[in-house]
């Protein structure tokens, strides 16, 4: 099992589109806590993601989502085990969506050993930098959970099977 | 339509055995960049226009920089000029690698998209992603980041890279050159329809180099002009079915810009390695089959890697990263070779260096009439083809041009009406 330097936490999104910046917000919060893992902010571009997570022991992704529940709802996916129900959209020159990137990563055998995804239901996605109160609260909870899990990884994860599922899911 | 950038649709009207009408409907809304530029300082144009496209921001930065420098009477040469070519190498590598393998190759191999193709061609897709990454790395080192670089300014760069930062890319570029040669072999083995229209190719031509940033505008049908004469020779027409303007050669009709045009008009400026690979691919010197544009893009990948290696080898960090600019009134022209073809900019500045007006003509606008022409000819030649198969082939023809509809809005659902 790898050391904590093998852990990469990625925030995906656009900090200038209100709640789409929740991934970056969680990374900011984790860095302020001095989390013992590498952190990275990536704007939506699946190609960069494939490269970033290749060969890692554990990668945690935080991203805004639509359609998983009321604003601020958090869903956790174990991307290597869970089916992520999302329609594959047409591939364009500019980017791949997260489900497309997962599909391509699985096909090319270019995935990390463990890949966890936190999806947070967004509300406001117009121009602006503030998060909705519900999303901000959810983001702080997600940061807290990730901080705890990193401290305990891999022992807690191994002991609980999937410690995340006893967390703050709503 | 999948695997192009932007939104559009294609309508084909067939009466009996005759194709009566073909129209490429572009319904992305206009973005009014030219109007946004009015009143802004000349120095803002590279960063504002770069936002027109996430794949070819370098092209917008380069064309606007050259136009401003022309207006202000400044010439940028030496190491700074070489760094601009190096930046363009990065953009061509990342753009061509993605288009060849992720967008275009599935057409020839019968896959819905690259995600499906990856199951049977994993090594090719991995190679494409690695090639793209190397292009991005060049943009990172030179431009500060790979999408919408922030290190480009009128007169040069905000910061010139250290030699060691460029030398660190050499091994990966050597790999990329060999991978690109493999890509040429892969592309030349694809099945190509027999289709060779009598094109007018338009591209830059420079006496000493394969064109990125500078040169005269030439064609295989008599055009040989300074870029400042662009608007005397070519025009943009409003077409009812398209929010994109349509390029037109005045008195000449449709023309083709992009890799096929560059290749046919500048073959002699390519390297011996590219010449050998082209001969082995069976397209030396002359290639009029637009489907074989996929081979030409791979050859341009080889060239971009070799050119990048040459520039890095000869690089000496300049004493100043940019040339100082005066603010003064003037009119300037810029035309550079985006991965998809020539990108023309023209600006008029007031005495304070503020933009009075600007004109931007992207490659996909210029190619649209030729895309429609290719579609009309192809459908006429294959009038009995089943609609499903016809749609597939029509999409392939459109993708031959690697169109960037978002840029041209200026893209595809196919509607075939048979009477």
- Residue B9 at interface with chain A, using a CB cutoff of 8 Å: no
Query: Chain A: residue nearest B100 by CA?
Result: A93
Q: Which token pair is B96?
A: 């061509």
The confidence score (pLDDT) of residue A49 equals: 86
- Could you give the count of Cα atoms lying within 13 Å of B236 in the half-sphere of its Cβ? 18
Where do we find the tokens 């990172």?
B140
* pLDDT tens for each residue of A62-110: 999 888 899 999 999 888 877 665 554 444 445 677 788 888 898 898 8
The confidence score (pLDDT) of residue B52 equals: 85
Q: Chain A contacts of B132, Cβ < 8 Å? A: 47
B1 within some domain: no
- Residue B5 at interface with chain A, using a CB cutoff of 8 Å: yes
Residue B29 predicted with pLDDT over 80: no
Q: Are A9 and A50 in contact (CB under 8 A)?
A: no
Beta strand A7-12 with A38-42 is parallel
Q: Are A67 and A49 in contact (CB under 8 A)?
A: no
B3 within some domain: no
Domain that holds residue B262: 8-418
* pLDDT tens for each residue of B164-177: 999 999 999 999 99
**Per the CB < 8 Å rule, is B2 touching A100?**
no
Q: Which token pair is B45?
A: 């144009």
Query: How far is residue B347's CA from residue A27's CA, in Å, rounded to a whole number?
Result: 42
Query: How far is residue B118's CA from residue B114's CA, in Å, rounded to a whole number?
Result: 6
The confidence score (pLDDT) of residue B412 equals: 56
Query: How far is residue B263's CA from residue B289's CA, in Å, rounded to a whole number?
Result: 12
Q: What CATH number does the domain containing B324 carry? A: 1.10.645.10
Query: Chain A: residue nearest B131 by CA?
Result: A47
Angle at B340 between CA B92 and CA B141, to 5 degrees: 25
Domain that holds residue A33: 4-166
Query: Chain A: residue nearest B94 by CA?
Result: A93
- Residue A103 at interface with chain B, using a CB cutoff of 8 Å: yes
Q: What CATH number does the domain containing A9 carry? A: 3.40.50.1450
- Residue A41 at interface with chain B, using a CB cutoff of 8 Å: no
Region B123-129 average pLDDT: 93
How near does any CA of chain A get to the CA of B107, in Å?
Answer: 13
Complex ipTM: 0.72
Q: How buried is B43 (Cβ within 10 angstroms: 0-12 exposed, 13-18 middle, 19+ buried)?
A: middle
The confidence score (pLDDT) of residue B55 equals: 79
How near does any CA of chain B get to the CA of A32, in Å?
Answer: 24
Q: Residue B315's pLDDT band (boundaries 50, 70, 90)?
A: very high
* pLDDT tens for each residue of A148-164: 988 887 665 554 444 44
Q: How many domains does chain B have?
A: 1
Q: Which token pair is B43?
A: 């120095």
B79 within some domain: yes
**Per the CB < 8 Å rule, is A47 touching B55?**
no
How near does any CA of chain A get to the CA of B98, in Å?
Answer: 7
């Amino acid at each position: 099992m790898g050391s904590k330097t093998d852990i990469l936490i990625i925030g995906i999104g656009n900090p200038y589109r209100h709640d789409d910046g929740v991934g970056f917000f969680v990374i900011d919060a984790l860095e302020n806590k001095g989390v013992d893992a590498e952190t990275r902010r990536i704007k939506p571009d699946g190609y960069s993601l494939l490269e970033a997570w290749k060969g890692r022991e554990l990668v945690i992704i935080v991203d805004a989502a639509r359609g998983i529940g009321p604003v601020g709802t958090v869903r956790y996916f174990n991307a290597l085990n869970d089916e992520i129900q999302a329609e594959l959209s047409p591939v364009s020159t500019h980017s791949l969506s997260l489900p497309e990137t997962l599909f391509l990563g699985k096909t090319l055998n270019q995935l990390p050993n463990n890949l966890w995804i936190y999806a947070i239901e967004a509300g406001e996605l117009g121009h602006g930098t503030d998060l909705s109160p519900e999303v901000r609260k959810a983001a702080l909870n997600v940061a807290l959970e990730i901080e705890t899990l990193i401290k305990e990884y891999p022992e807690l994860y191994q002991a609980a099977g999937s410690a995340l599922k006893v967390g703050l899911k709503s | 339509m999948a695997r192009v950038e932007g939104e559009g649709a294609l309508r084909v009207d067939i009466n009996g055995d005759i194709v009566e009408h073909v129209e490429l409907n572009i319904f992305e809304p206009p973005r009014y960049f030219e109007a946004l530029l009015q009143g802004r300082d000349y120095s803002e144009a590279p960063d504002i226009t770069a936002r027109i496209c996430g794949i070819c921001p370098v092209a917008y930065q380069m064309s606007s920089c050259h136009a401003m420098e022309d207006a202000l009477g400044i010439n940028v040469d030496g190491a700074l000029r070489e760094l601009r070519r190096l930046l363009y190498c990065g953009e061509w590598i990342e753009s061509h690698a993605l288009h060849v393998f992720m967008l275009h190759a599935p057409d020839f191999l019968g896959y819905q998209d690259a995600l499906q193709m990856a199951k049977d061609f994993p090594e090719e897709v991995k190679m494409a992603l690695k090639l793209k990454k190397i292009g991005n790395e060049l943009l990172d080192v030179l431009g500060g980041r790979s999408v919408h670089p922030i290190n480009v300014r009128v007169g040069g760069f905000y910061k010139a890279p250290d030699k060691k930062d460029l030398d660190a890319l050499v091994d990966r570029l050597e790999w990329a050159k060999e991978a690109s040669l493999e890509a040429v072999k892969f592309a030349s083995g694809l099945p190509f329809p027999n289709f060779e229209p009598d094109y007018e190719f338009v591209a830059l031509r420079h006496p000493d180099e394969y064109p990125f940033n500078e040169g005269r505008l030439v064609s295989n049908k008599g055009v040989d002009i300074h870029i400042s004469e662009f608007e005397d020779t070519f025009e943009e027409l409003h077409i009812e079915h398209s929010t994109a303007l349509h390029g037109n050669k005045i008195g000449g009709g449709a023309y083709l810009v992009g890799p096929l045009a560059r290749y046919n008009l500048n073959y002699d400026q390519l390297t011996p390695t590219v010449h050998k690979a082209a001969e082995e691919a069976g397209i030396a010197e002359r290639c009029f089959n637009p489907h074989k544009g996929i081979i030409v893009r791979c050859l341009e990948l080889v060239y971009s890697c070799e050119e990048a290696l040459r520039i890095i080898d000869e690089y000496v960090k300049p004493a100043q990263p940019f040339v100082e600019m005066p603010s003064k009134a003037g009119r300037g022209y810029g035309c550079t070779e985006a991965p998809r073809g020539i990108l023309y900019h023209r600006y008029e500045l007031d005495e304070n260096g503020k933009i009075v007006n600007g004109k931007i003509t992207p490659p996909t606008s210029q190619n649209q009439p030729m895309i429609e022409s290719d579609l009309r000819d192809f459908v006429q030649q294959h009038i009995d083809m089943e609609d499903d198969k016809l749609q597939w082939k029509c999409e392939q023809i459109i993708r031959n041009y690697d169109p960037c509809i978002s840029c041209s809005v200026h893209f595809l659902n196919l509607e075939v009406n048979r009477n």
